[in-house]
Amino acid sequence: MSSPLPDDDPWARPEGVDDATVQACGTLGEGMERLERARGHLYAFHQLMGRADFLFGDAADELDDAGHTELAELIRTDLVGRNVLEGRWTFQVVEEFDDSYYRPVVGIEERVRNELLDGRRHVFEAELKEARRTHRHPRHERRPGSG
């Protein structure tokens, strides 16, 4: 699927880049999109666990108020503030993931894109759009404002 896009187009295939390279970079980009989604879920986990911890504390207070002091204390000592993994709260899990996995992957993807596609993103998708759109049809414009 060679590029019919003009060279000044930010999504145009750089001159001399073959289909296999565009495909591989597209697959790498899709992997990055999955990584971003996974990272979002990790941050959601972080926020959900933080809220759960506060709710456990609220439950302990309510049990105390209801006269269940021993169970309230069990929750306070064994649940509230508990590590989700050995030695780690979720903020530490998030930071470790970002430092040891996320940032290195982002750097490698950027290097591949810079070396093979002049830093251009979504070249594969731009070519797919060009191949699938109905030319000169409303709502099938090549770019915003291109009529």
pLDDT in tens, 37-67: 999 999 999 999 999 999 999 999 999 999 9
Q: What is the pLDDT of residue 127?
A: 93
Q: What is residue 85's three-state secondary structure?
A: strand
Give the residue-averaged pLDDT of 59-81. 98
Check residue 31 and give its pLDDT.
Answer: 98
The tokens describing 91, both together, are 């903020």
Domain ranges of the chain: 19-132
- What pLDDT is attached to residue 142? 80
State residue 2's pLDDT score: 54
pTM for this model (two decimals): 0.84
1 pLDDT more than 70: no
Residues near 90 by beta carbon (within 8 Å), at least 6 away in sequence: 45, 46, 49, 50, 84
């070249």: which residue's tokens?
123
